[in-house]
A = this chain, B = another copy of it.
Amino acid sequence: MQHYFLKQSLVVDQIVELPTKIKHHFFGVLRSQPKAKLELVDENHIVFQAIAIDPELGTVKIETQLDRQTDLPVEATIICGLAKQSKPELIVQKATELGVAEVIFIPMERSIVKWGSKSEKKIERLQEVAVSAAEQSHRNSVPNIRYLAKLTELADQNYDRALIAYEEAAKQGEKAQLVQNLEQLSSGESVSCVFGPEGGITDTEVNWLTDHGYQPVGLGPRILRTETAPMYFLSAVSVILELSQM
């Protein structure tokens, strides 16, 4: 069933005129007929089932409230060094499917690409990728995509647990650090994890981060590419907090 996000609150029996983009997709591209079902998520992250009324007017009627929660039980943020080519798109798409709350991109010392003045456009495009992935994976919310111009701007961010994906951590035998940190999180708390770009994170960056409360953790013994590490991390959050703690 199609799944769309609206920027308004909804109640059962309400008749809603779909926003232009959604109307175009649901009634235009998909040629949905009256009585076709769809899911709408309102601004409070509540999912409703709705039914198509009039394709011309783009109206639907809210039928029932669905008691479904598909966001992670914690607010998970991934903080990624700028990576090359279409890797940011892949990161945003996969992280959204895996339940991320926010993705922050930052130019890091070993980032080869620079976004500079293009950063606003890039983030706009990535935000669209997030909407589309959130629709497809039936999320209760769309992740927020942001750009910070410098690593040190992270000083203004607060997380209940702040981590760094760091190969060296795994080598030093701190294999269990990730799981231990995740197990200590309570529902509604926040966790973030920093991922270096293709060349990895530098010692200077790791030092700055640890001085600001970030803890290095290993993600297993294999070397993961810059776009794969966040997928591993978010899967781990889900496995530990959604599948293990019953």
Contacts and interface: CB of A to CB of B under 8 A. Distances in A.
Indicate the size class of the contact surface on chain A.
35 or more
Contacts of A231: 94, 228, 231-232, 235
B240 A239 contact: yes
A140 B137 CA distance: 34
A70 interface: yes
A136 interface: yes
17 contacts: A68-B221, A70-B221, A70-B222, A94-B228, A97-B224, A97-B228, A98-B228, A137-B222, A137-B225, A138-B222, A175-B243, A176-B243, A220-B238, A220-B243, A221-B242, A231-B235, A236-B243
A155 interface: no
A139 interface: yes
Interface of A: 68-70, 94, 97-99, 136-139, 175-176, 178-179, 218-225, 228, 231-232, 235-236, 238-240, 242-244, 246
B179 A244 contact: yes
Contacts of A242: 175, 220-221
Given A231-B231, A232-B238, A222 B175 contact: no
A8 B218 CA distance: 32
A243 B236 CA distance: 10
Given A136-B223, A219-B238, A220-B243, 17 more contacts: A94-B231, A97-B223, A97-B225, A97-B228, A98-B232, A136-B225, A137-B222, A137-B225, A138-B222, A175-B242, A175-B246, A178-B243, A179-B239, A231-B231, A231-B232, A232-B235, A235-B239
